[in-house]
Structure 1
Amino acid sequence: MKLYIDFQGMTRIFGRAADQGRDQLFEHETYDLLRALGSESVPEHLLFARDLRLTSDLLAPFPGRKVVLKIVSPDVVHKSDMGGVKVVPKLAGKVRSEGRRMVDRVSDRFAAFVETHPDQVPEPFKDLTGKALRTAVNNRIQGVLITEYLPPESDALGNELLVSLRWTREFGMVITAGLGGIDTELFAERLRPGQAVVSASTALVTAQTFFELFQTTIAYGKLSGQTRGGKRLVSDEQILECFGAFIAVGNHFSPLNPGVCHTIEELEVNPFALKDYEMVPLDGLCRFKKPTTPTTPRETDNIDSLLHPESVAILGVSATQMNFGRHILENMVKAGFPEKKITLVSSTAKEIDGIACVKDLTRLPTVDLLVIAVGAKQVPGLVDDIIDNHRAKSVILIPGGLGEKQGTKTMARTMAAKIHQAHCLGKGAPLFLGGNCLGIISRPGGVDTFFTPENCSPKRRHTPPSKTALISQSGAFALVRMTALVSGDPAYTITVGNQTDLTIGDFLTWMADAPEIAIIFVYVEGFNDLDGLHACRGIRRAVKRGKQVIVYKAGRTPEGKQATSGHTASVAGDYMVCTSCLGQAGALVTDSLEEFDGLMNLSTFLHGKKITGNRIAGLSPAGFETVGIADSLQSRDSCLELAQFQPETQKTIAALFDKAGLTEIMDIKNPLDITPGAPDMVHVGAIKAMIQDKNIDAVVLSLGSLAPATGDTPALDDPSGYTTTPGSLATLLPEIAATSPKPVVVFNDAGQAHDPINNRLRRQGFPVFNTCSQTMTLVARYIAYRLGLKSLIENEQNAQ
């Protein structure tokens, strides 16, 4: 695909505006910028400056009988709201009078807006009111922009397109595209995510992959003529070229591009009017600034010293009471770390619990890992000493209150700057985890720095860990979720806290290469500067190595609306951009904590299974559950299909029904309702037949412990809470599912009395979900995710 971008011309446009002390282009300058970007349909336009003598000759180049007038001011962005847009006859006298009237009208309305919105006052109008404010607003209006009038193809939804670039703190430059026009925000708010607009990091996406993402939106369905009675408005090649140009410009005028003279903060066209295979930019804005050098990820070689240390020191262990440090020591010993390789730092004790102490850090030999569990006020001084004297290769900062508590932000910033400076000086600086964290549990490294007592959070130390890693910004979240995995504790549980140094992106990148890890679970509240982009690259690295990444992003409140001038932040706020970028990188982003919990267990259980499609078979002894399976085929962004049984499967099930005397009362169809009278052998035989059926990609079934004919029954007077018989469904299911090449997923919506039966399976590493609808949603999302990963990897391989 050939692009027609004049980067030098764009640089000159930014330079002229900067020479006038501006960081925002006027709209006619944005038109010139878009022409340099390669837009071939920039409308005819003329700046009717306040000192210009407008004549009919100047209006002659404009086609048609009408023109559009738009106010030109560095302060008035949403022009329509202030009466700053009007269609008028193309007559010199009418244009002059309406233009002058518009300047007065906007001056009045914008001054009134400023007085009633004190939180949105532009800098030039600070402390101004009344007549002085109105005069100041009027003086900054440059005039009126005259543009050609373009009659809309129709007033129908989808005939206008939004395309924008925006620099984001976490993900760098982001491109957004979707439904345009004055109702853009309404569409984005009312439609489910991904239907109105889509976003992606320009550093991670190509024109083709972003176009494929855009094809899932309502906007593409409309402009490509897919609606009833609709017609195509623009070609795919035009859209591809537009996206390609925006991505190339975003990457060029980015702080990540060294040597560029200016960087784009925001470039938005809303809308591109789509008419007769033309993409005409009707309204545009652009903010820019001088380049700054962003913080980029640094070397993290010492992460291995953190997760697999040969020597550990702990500062803050009390000799007289069970404080946080003492619990950390206790957990380290229980985790199996050799006591002879642990050193305690204590000014009063010679040994604690048989572990030798040194009086202070000056007497400590350099260790792989130093855990600091003292008050927050002591930490900055300790950090200085650790860095200056190379006390440790890695450090865990347990204390909270570093930056969160009022009055500590300056202290936290100074400490972070010291750490950053040490990294800038070259290799060898220690890595810091935290503060305000629980630290880590590394089963391969024999490390457990959590300060919670064993009775509050029992760990399954005597069972092998699962091939998973849990990276969490919240210590409490990690503590609860790691015990919820039925397959066993994660091999690594990492809490990053404030991310003063080590970040979520750092650990995602490290785990991508860890051979003992198959699935990475992430709980994130917020990313450090550009760490979202770093995390996305780590995710992509992981999935290319056959791993899966499940993410829950906390914090859905709309952000960034005050930080940007256009519509983009409203329709593609921080949460939407974050989840979109993470998903495109290869993560499965969950909608709720409950879904995250379910997908943790489902993905761990099904990681090694072949996912060949979305055709499922369902089975239950309860009619409402078979109806529920059929009613729950569609999820938010994925769907399942009911498979057609092969003749051999039907014969097998018919024979089972005949043997059990069920032929006269049951039909053989999918989902299969086998009635409460079906014994275990019918359940087991039908499941095995479904597994063998080539038309079926996955099996979803009810455990059916409510059915009186099965061998697993609740028993309140039994110590185990249930009774069972050899050959029962619950007894045989774990082996059937484990040996099946296909996913076999189970739910049991039978009430609390049946929990002992469910928990018995869970203790064997076999997840049992609570309801049919929950199970179907999890299966639909997981299958769609696995199939999407397969396509993503294939596309990358083809691109290479």
Structure 2
Amino acid sequence: MFIENEISFKAISDLFCNADNEGRDYLYEYEVYNLLANSGAETPPAANLLPRGARFSDEELISIPGEKTVLKIVSPTIIHKTEVGGVRIVKKEPSKIRSAVRGMMYEVPENYAAYIERNPDHSPKEYKGLHGEALVKAISRDLKGVLQVQFMPPDSDSFGNELIVGLRRTREFGTIISAGLGGTDTELYAERFRKGQAIVAASVYMVDGQSFFQLFKNTISYKKLAGLTRGQRRIVTDEQLIECFDSFIEMGKYFSPSDKDSGFVIDELEINPFAFTEYLMVPLDGMCRFSKTGQKPQGRPVQKIHNLLHPKKIGIIGVSSTRRNFGRIILDNVLAEGFSKEDVVIISEGRDTVDGVRCVPNLDSLNHKLDLFVVAIAAQHVPDLVDQIIKLDSAKSVMLIPGGMGETEESKERAEQIINTINEKHAEEDGGPVFIGANCMGVVSRPGGYDTWFIPEEKLPKNRNAGHQRAALISQSGAFMVFRTSQCPELNPAYMISMGNQTDLTLGDMVHYFKNSPEVDVIAVYAEGFNDLDGLEFCRAVRQAVMNGKEVVFYKAGRTPEGKSATSGHTASLAGDYMVCESCVQQAGAIVARTFQEFQDLFMLAEKLSGKTICGDRLAAVSGAGFEAVGMADSIQSDDYDIELAKFSDDSIAAIDEILISQKLSTLVTIQNPLDLTPGSNDMVHAKMAGILVKDPAVDSIVIGLDPLSPSMHTLADSSIPAFSMDDENSLGNQLIKIVENSDKPLLAVVDGGRLYAPLRDMLLANGVPVFPVCDRAVAAIALYSKARMHAEVIRLTHGCD
């Protein structure tokens, strides 16, 4: 771990302070080199600032080591200096240096002005509307001089031998560190190379230098720098890279938006590139922008989430007595879940009861404080109602069902009014109520005994007698959650929570609550966007949940510009940079899904396998059809995962051979992985194979195809033919259930067939056996799940003593 006292935070703060006193929110390049010199990492090259108009002696101009010297224009507006002639390498002779400096002071403004005229969209705001000589003069006025830098020729100028390292402040995740292929084509590399090959990024709070280095080792940049490609030699040590990463991470944590004591925040610090000379990391260009720390966000009384999820008293406003509006459907669902009518009250004038539930005309008439108040009235009436709730202290938690509060430009003012009112109350000692929503589908809390979804039961039937899973599904989109529930009723988590617009309670708040919940082992989250710095809080909560032995499954919408636009329009949340989000959440310990289908699959696996042991990534694949064997083998690798086919132990090979001989299958089946059993293999053969492989120490997980259409298999429900009946006690389904019950090793079944085989799938799922309709989905899911589980175990071992 990097030693903090090697970094002079005071000296770096002084750099920011001096620049701030001059009205700047950025550092000049020579000041960036001073920052690096105080960072405890590599020593930057020697440099002299040659201020505009100043005179220098010959001795001063040749004081920098080397036979050559680098001259760089110093300007607050010129970022890409090389393209406008702002970088020159000359002999270290006074006359040569003076000549080059004079030329640059005239030529650079002309070149930059020409560039802006050709590319007006790239014009800095300072030069908007300027043209011709006026533009040249404005650029010239901003030139501060020329920076003379020690020339340190790189060991190699071949592709991949430059490194970019940077810090960047993000709205959702605070400060992140990134590193990868450096040079002028960095953005092109990031766009063209496979994910994680050109650039890697992580939250400075989720990694240290060593763990970030492990991420970086997967990049092309590392392979080139470490001499791992043909014709290359190592030009930097691993220890140097770790030291550099540690230094950046510690600076990012200290000058962070979540640290209000530092006085300043690094908005962006980038060295692009580091080059390498005789095992020295040499920064060739650097930039830094900073800002002052802001006010600390107002805290929320999140302990009242317990009242929201486990209410004793519920109130509802917006219930119609004449039609099934949203409020009436909510009332029906609350009562259908078994919540006592005596503990529900309706706010409605002119009525004594609705369906046997007491009514009161207004909040003033309540004779007790509500644990949960469900608001299902029109959006325009919500701000006044929120004022009332807070003024009268009517409830500990409030559920805002209506939309129209922040999803569109027209409704933003209404949303801001509500947020300001809530935050003012949170600043007081008790903190007032917590609010979930707006634009909220509602909450289903099986432990809390209620359901406030406004979907009629005729549209979404519920099996209230089925035991719920020890899981929570938290979704920013209520519709996403409802559709998943309709498609996959077997998931059936204990809690299903629609967050809506996160007007008050956030995704981070909810995961913080469930990280310690005795009711939940698995937390599944669908996110469209995070509030300011809530991505960081979310990651912290995920990390703590993982440390507590829980599993977190995550899907983030808005991975493309079009996707970001769609999520923003729907939930009034700004979707952040997907690569940063994915990396931060993965480093926190979550299992990240790439598609909706994958989210469902991983959620199901987490529910079924959270109690199983994941020892590694060696897969045994068993199929009943050739295409399935090929499909499994083809699915063991992708950009996001890889899993290896296990090499069966000698004992397993002998046991498999014995069964094949006894069943006269030895001439038809080759003992290999995937193990392709013929359609002539019956239930007993499949079950025996599964039983052998779960005991094989060389196998970590098993995917087995059940070949449901084979005439040799018992895979049909209510069949008039006993040989096909899945109810037979020796059917493969019943045998697999017993194997899974008695094994600590993951076993996944594949039932590749139509609706006729839905009862078999349902039976297996109901008895703890994960089931997939196609083999490639099963292999991808167990590969991603195993990788994430092993990473979570590393986190627990690494951070267990923190």
- What's 1:557 paired with? 560
| Correspondences of 1:704-743 after superposition (within 5 Å) | 704-712=707-715, 724=726, 726=728, 727-743=730-746
In structure 2, what is the Cα distance between the partners aligned to 1:109 and 1:404? 45
Task: Give 2:266's aligned amino acid.
Answer: I
Q: How big is each residue's C-alpha offset from its partner over 1:208-243, in whole Å with a ceiling of 9 and x where there is no partner?
A: 332333333332333233333433222233222222
> 1:474 aligned to 462, 473, 477, which one?
477
Q: Aligned residue for 1:258?
A: 260
Is 1:72–1:142's contact at 8 Å kept on the other side of the alignment? Answer: yes
Deviation, 1:573, is 7.5
- The whole-number CA distance in structure 2 between the counterparts of 1:609 and 1:758 is 20
Q: How far apart in 2 are the matches of 1:770 and 1:89?
A: 71
Residue identity in the other structure for 1:262: F
> Helix, strand or coil: the match of 1:781?
helix
With over 3 angstroms needed to count, the CA separation of the structure-2 counterparts of 1:672 and 1:84, relative to structure 1, is: same
> After superposition, where does 1:380-779 map in structure 2 within 5 Å?
380-485=383-488, 487-557=490-560, 574-712=577-715, 724=726, 726=728, 727-750=730-753, 754-755=757-758, 757-759=760-762, 761-762=764-765, 766-779=769-782
Residue number in structure 2 paired with 1:231: 233
Shift in Å, 1:244: 2.2
**Correspondence for 1:568:** none
Instruction: Determine the structure 1 residue equivalent to 2:568.
Output: none
Which amino acid in 2 is paired with 1:5?
A: I
Offset from partner CA, 1:46-81 (integer Å, 9 cap, x none): 223320235543331233333222221111112233
Residues 497 and 458 of structure 1: CA distance in aligned 2, closer, same or farther (over 3 Å): same
Show the counterpart of 1:43: 45
The verdict on how the C-alpha distance between 1:712 and 1:251 changes in structure 2, with shifts beyond 3 A counting, is closer
- Higher mean alpha-carbon deviation, 498-507 vs 67-76, is at 67-76
Residues in 2 aligned to 1:194 and 1:426: alpha-carbon distance in whole angstroms: 47
Q: Is the 8 A contact 2:555 2:593 kept in 1?
A: yes
Distance (whole Å) between structure 1 residues aligned to residue 414 and residue 279 of structure 2? 58
Number of the residue aligned with 2:309: 307
Aligned-partner Cα distance in 2 for 1:780–1:302: 38
In 1, distance between residues paired with 2:727 and 2:205? 59
Counterpart of 2:55 (choices 50, 53, 56) is: 53
Is the Cα–Cα contact under 8 Å of residues 405 and 412 in structure 2 kept in the other structure? yes
CA distance 1:441–1:573, shift in 2 (3 Å): closer
Separation in structure 2 between the aligned mates of residue 5 and residue 413 of structure 1, nearest angstrom: 41
Secondary structure of the 1:668 match is coil
The one-character-per-residue Cα deviations of 1:720-770 (angstroms, maximum 9, x if unpaired) are 9x8546222234333332332211112233456655544554455543213
Contact 1:633-1:776 within 8 A present in 2 as well: yes
- What does residue 566 of structure 1 align with? none
Deviation at 1:543, TM superposition (A): 0.9
- How far residue 592 of structure 1 moved from its aligned partner, in angstroms, is 1.5
**Between 607-616 and 213-222, the greater mean CA deviation after superposition:** 213-222
The residue number in structure 1 matching 2:169 is: 167
The code of the aligned residue for 1:212 comes to: Q
- In 2, the alpha carbon distance for the partners of 1:394 and 1:129 equals 59
Q: Give the counterpart letter for 1:27 in structure 2.
A: E
Q: Residue 165 of structure 1 contacts residue 246 of structure 1 at CA under 8 Å; is this kept in 2?
A: yes
Shift of 1:784: 1.2
Which whole-Å CA distance do the structure 2 matches of 1:659 and 1:40 have between them?
69
The range that moved more, 60-69 or 161-170, is 60-69
Residue 707 of structure 1 aligns to a residue whose secondary structure is: coil
SS in 2 for 1:302: helix
Counterpart position of 1:129? 131
Alignment-mate amino acid for residue 476 of structure 1:
A
Residue 381 of structure 2: aligned partner: 378
- 2:184 alignment partner, one of 178, 182, 185: 182
Alpha-carbon RMSD across the aligned residues, in angstroms, is 2.5
Counterpart AA for 2:244: C
Give 3-state SS (helix, strand or coil) of 1:246's partner.
helix
> Any idea what the Cα deviations from partners look like across 1:77-115, whole Å, max 9, x if unmatched?
122333322333334343334334334443234334445
Can you give the 5+ residue segments of structure 2 that lack an aligned partner in the other structure? 565-574
Q: Deviations over 1:134-181 (max 9, x none)?
A: 321221122222222222211233322211112222112222222222
8 Å Cα contact 1:551-1:596 kept in structure 2: yes
2:6 match: secondary structure = coil
Aligned equivalent of 1:99: 101
Deviation at 1:400, TM superposition (A): 0.3
CA distance 1:105–1:374, shift in 2 (3 Å):
farther
Alpha-carbon offset, residue 123 of structure 1: 3.2
Partner of 2:571: none
Decide whether aligned partners of structure 1 residues 382 and 713 sit closer, same or farther in structure 2, where only a CA change above 3 A counts.
closer
Q: Distance in 1 between matches of 2:230 and 2:188?
A: 23
SS at match of 2:257: coil
- After TM superposition, give the deviation of residue 532 of structure 1 in Å: 0.9
Alpha carbons 2:748, 2:769 under 8 Å: kept:
no
Deviations 1:596-641 (CA, angstroms, capped at 9, x unpaired): 1111112211111111122221111212222222232223343222
Is the Cα contact below 8 Å between 2:217 and 2:223 reproduced in 1? yes
* Deviation of 1:464 (Å): 1.1
Q: Distance in 2 between matches of 1:724 and 1:34?
A: 70
1:365-419 CA distance string (max 9 Å, x none): 3211000001111111111111122010000001101012332212211210111
